[in-house]
Structure 1
Amino acid sequence: MKTPALCPLDGRYGGRLGALRSVMSEAAFTASRVRAERNWFTVLSHLKLPRFASLSAQETDLLNNLLPLTEQDLEVIRALEFDGYEKIPATKHDVKAVEYFLKLRLKNTPLKDRLEWFHFALTSEDINSAAYAMLLADGVEKALLPALENLQKNLAQLARKEARSVLLARTHGQAAVPTTFGKEIRVFEARLSRQLQELKQRKVSLKFGGAVGNYNAHLAAFPKVNWASAARRFVTSLNKGRKIKIVLSPISTQVDNRDTYAELFDNVRRINTILLGLSQDMWRYISAGLVRQKTAAGEVGSSTMPQKVNPIDFENTEGNLQVADALLELFSRKLPVSRLQRDLSDSTVLRNMAVAFGYALTAYLSLSKGLSKILFDRKAAQAELSAHPEVLAEGVQTILRAAGYPNPYETLRDFTRGRKMTPALWQEFIEGLAVDGPTKQRLRALSLETYLGFAVQLAEGKYD
């Protein structure tokens, strides 16, 4: 852990986030800009433009070898932006620094006479839009989705394992009817599954039409070229090997509308909302003694109360999800709005997308850890359920309703409400009913352990 770290994502939680850091860090962002510049250069080489000969195999290799960037490459790009490098003054402009870096890297190669084709007809936002699209797609595909898919798998396994473990369901915090722990876990798994399917189908858009999206410079230089087709070819080059695809916005200002960003962030927030509910319910089950946590030798739950085993993983999940959601909601509200053709207030906001993903990923990993340590206490759950025989009232009144018994709901309400019910009271009530033999037999057969409806089947994933 880096103690001087300003943010816990680089300090306390840093060791967990390698998968995300590799695709959404500042270094990854710089590499994505290089990839965008390189791929556009390659697209231009196929357009048969004057003074731009087709690339040879050697020249293609030179371009391919620009990536991955080394630490020295990153230092050069940083120096070009902030300090100046090899008699080039500091650009104070991140994208221009990348352009100059490419020209420096290739100035003594067979490409030296074509260096001005880098960043041809583009505005910085074309490169940044492509780079951010790659970062978002990679962040979802390579960091968030693996963690979420693992979480979904663990929830499905837990639901099956505890499919028959009876549990007292509570509505409004009050005893309601019997259910099973597995079925209640399956509720969250099913909701997560639906949102994951949507997330896997998300696309991230970019714009690539120049200063205000009209291809002004492109057409001024080469009016007969189909520049929209060239832009689509560029996007295709970015999608090789990707599951989360990038798409071209056909019409834009200087910036992409980022509606796809908002859709993606809202999708992640829906996932986080589901997991927040799960974390809070697990906290409640632990608090009620229905779920126990495995202990590890030497771990401390409280600095003063040595007996405590706190639900820290679920609490950590809750807090980190809320931080992530606060940022994601800001992004969804802020990024699709830009004054006129563009204002720069989005720049610093965009740089924090990885932060939101970092807190979300930290939460997913904490939740998986917490779930791996829980044990459902079937005896405690059975004892709690047995203490509330009144929850059979729903079943009793429904059987009576089906049998045509007069005012069954009101009869049960008056008999059970506010009364401490016992099995003996139920037996007395049932035996005193003026109903036919089969109806009375169905009433006698009701039990807390079997009045479960389809809970077991639902927990096992059988919804039909």
Structure 2
Amino acid sequence: MTSTAPQHPSDQTRVNLADVTPPIALGPLDGRYRGAVAPLVDHLSEAALNRARIQVEVEWLIVLCNGTVAGEAGTTPVAGPVVPGAPTLSDAEIAYLRQIPATFGADEIAELGAIERETVHDVKAVEYFIKRRLAADVAGKFLGETSLPAASELVHFACTSEDVNNLSYALMVRGAVLDVWLPAATALADQLADLAREHAAVPMLSRTHGQPATPTTMGKELAVLAHRLRRQLRRIGAAEFLGKINGATGTYGAHTVAVPGADWPAVSRAFVEHLGLTWNPLTTQIESHDWQAEVYADVARFNRILHNLATDVWTYISMGFFTQIPVAGATGSSTMPHKVNPIRFENAEANLEISCSLLDTLAATLVTSRLQRDLTDSTTQRNIGPAFGHSLLAIDNVRRGLTALAVSAETMAADLDANWEVLGEPVQSAMRAASVAGVEGMENPYERLKELTRGHRVDGPAMREFVAGLGLPDDVAARLAALTPASYVGLAERLVADHLD
């Protein structure tokens, strides 16, 4: 008997999306949000890692052949080959070598991938990739003879994979931070600072513990967040990026056996500083990654401050202190046409949380390596890109969100006018000062204001009536009589001008 039951959707033949060409991204950073994070690909992708490895190997080869230059700390240069008998490379040969990483593109990525499938070792594949370009037929690229084939066995000389990897990651992270992430984060902080200055004098009721509290200004509150963000940016901008090149267990063992006459620590230091990095003299097989943990902790802290900004702005929007400028053609809700949702700030929150989770894991994992080396850092470091990617995406969202905000001074003014009880603080403070100055009748100022204001709504006339009956000196009474919640903002505007650099 043939079944007449309807076919379940899961039983139907469907396209296997894993087989679609071009390949479909598994994660959102390489799919939906690619446009916002694409600049990081040039620094933190697998291809960028291999390009950096090639750069390190090439520069090490040049040093072994031609000697070192003085490092930043005044390291004594080595004139001539570090390895006796190594050919001295011409300017043309050095230029040729440096073109290998500079021209590393799609074809080279594919070639290196094919080599790695044979070696099943990523750094060894890089070594073979470079050696192919030093083969005998390289002579045709020069007008005369070339010594590059003779230098072939100096590729990866005395190196362990981590000599190449640690320097490559340091170059990659430095580039990602200084060339991509830091400029974007700085632009956000500057944008926030501009908003703070623009609204430095716009009064706003504070809410400590969510309750009406001493007034401030919108600009001063934004300035606090801009100031906090900039402090973290200064720390990140001053970060050290460490590197080492000292062999399989950090002892220069192979170096000293092969070439005992060289001052290998001096060569190592000069080379690391030549790459623009800070030399780490004492390591195991790996560079200890402490500098990475420091950078990631600072970026995570920036993220968390930015998260605070996103939640505060979201709350101000819900209170009507900010209005959002509608984007033509955009939809806020699939069913409620009136809505303009604060999606930029909500998306930023989520991406900041993901970024912090990854950065925290990176920082916690990378500072530990069993004995002289384990491989936990290999996979871990391949997630540096997503960690920075989610942060960069959040920065982009917040910047877009801030651009679409308008301050509603009228809403904030109405909120202030509905909360005259917040003037209980300056009134009782003025009474205390008057009491110290010898004015009679100023007893128990806090308690009297507490009785008047706590749990009660107090309007302007009631507050002025109370002040008028206190017996304060005329100048003090006049000052308090003129005070309103909107004018009780202290030095908020001056603080923005004086301290928001």
TM-score range, shorter chain: over 0.9
Question: Counterparts of 1:240-389 in structure 2 under 5 Å?
Answer: 246-389=277-420
| One of 211, 219, 230 as aligned partner of 1:193 | 230
Matched residues in 1 for 2:314 and 2:500: separation? 27
1:39 aligns with 2:59: yes
Matched residues in 2 for 1:31 and 1:183: separation? 46
Question: Counterparts of 1:41-440 in structure 2 under 5 Å?
Answer: 41-47=61-67, 48=81, 49-68=83-102, 69-82=104-117, 90-107=118-135, 108-109=137-138, 110=146, 111-239=148-276, 246-404=277-435, 405-440=442-477
User: Post-superposition shift, 1:132?
Assistant: 0.5
Structure 2 unaligned segments of length 5 or more: list them: 1-21, 68-80, 139-145, 436-441
TM-score, length-normalised on structure 2?
0.88
Larger Rg: 2
Length, aligned pairs only: 450
Matched residues in 1 for 2:236 and 2:498: separation? 21
Other structure's SS at 1:364 match: helix
User: Post-superposition shift, 1:445?
Assistant: 2.4
Q: Which moved more, 1:166-175 or 1:45-54?
A: 45-54
Other-structure match for 1:6: 26
Matched residues in 1 for 2:372 and 2:239: separation? 26
Structure 1 unaligned segments of length 5 or more: list them: 83-89, 240-245
The answer as to whether partners of 1:262 and 1:336 remain within 8 angstroms in 2 is: yes
User: Post-superposition shift, 1:462?
Assistant: 4.0
Q: CA deviation digits over 1:348-391, x for unaligned, max 9?
A: 11100011000000001111010000001010110111110111
Matched residues in 2 for 1:62 and 1:431: separation? 88
Rate the CA distance shift 1:385–1:21 in 2: closer, same or farther, 3 A: same
User: Post-superposition shift, 1:13?
Assistant: 0.5
Matched residues in 1 for 2:323 and 2:416: separation? 17
For 1:98, the aligned partner's letter is V
Matched residues in 2 for 1:225 and 1:444: separation? 84
RMSD: 1.3
Q: CA deviation digits over 1:385-442, x for unaligned, max 9?
A: 1110111111111111100021111111111111111111112211111333223222
Q: CA deviation digits over 1:131-175, x for unaligned, max 9?
A: 100111011011111101110110111011101111111100000
Rate the CA distance shift 1:234–1:210 in 2: closer, same or farther, 3 A: same
Matched residues in 2 for 1:59 and 1:265: separation? 39
Other structure's SS at 1:65 match: helix
Q: CA deviation digits over 1:44-102, x for unaligned, max 9?
A: 113422220211122112112212202111111100001xxxxxxx0000000000000
Other structure's SS at 2:206 match: strand
Matched residues in 2 for 1:400 and 1:80: separation? 83
The answer as to whether partners of 1:182 and 1:456 remain within 8 angstroms in 2 is: yes
Matched residues in 2 for 1:459 and 1:381: separation? 19
Other-structure match for 2:496: 459
The answer as to whether partners of 1:169 and 1:175 remain within 8 angstroms in 2 is: yes
Other structure's SS at 1:210 match: coil
Other structure's SS at 2:241 match: strand
For 1:401, the aligned partner's letter is R
Q: CA deviation digits over 1:313-359, x for unaligned, max 9?
A: 00011000000000000111110100000111211111000110000
For 1:50, the aligned partner's letter is P
The answer as to whether partners of 2:320 and 2:411 remain within 8 angstroms in 1 is: yes
For 1:78, the aligned partner's letter is G
Sequence identity (%): 42
The answer as to whether partners of 2:55 and 2:98 remain within 8 angstroms in 1 is: no
The answer as to whether partners of 1:3 and 1:11 remain within 8 angstroms in 2 is: no
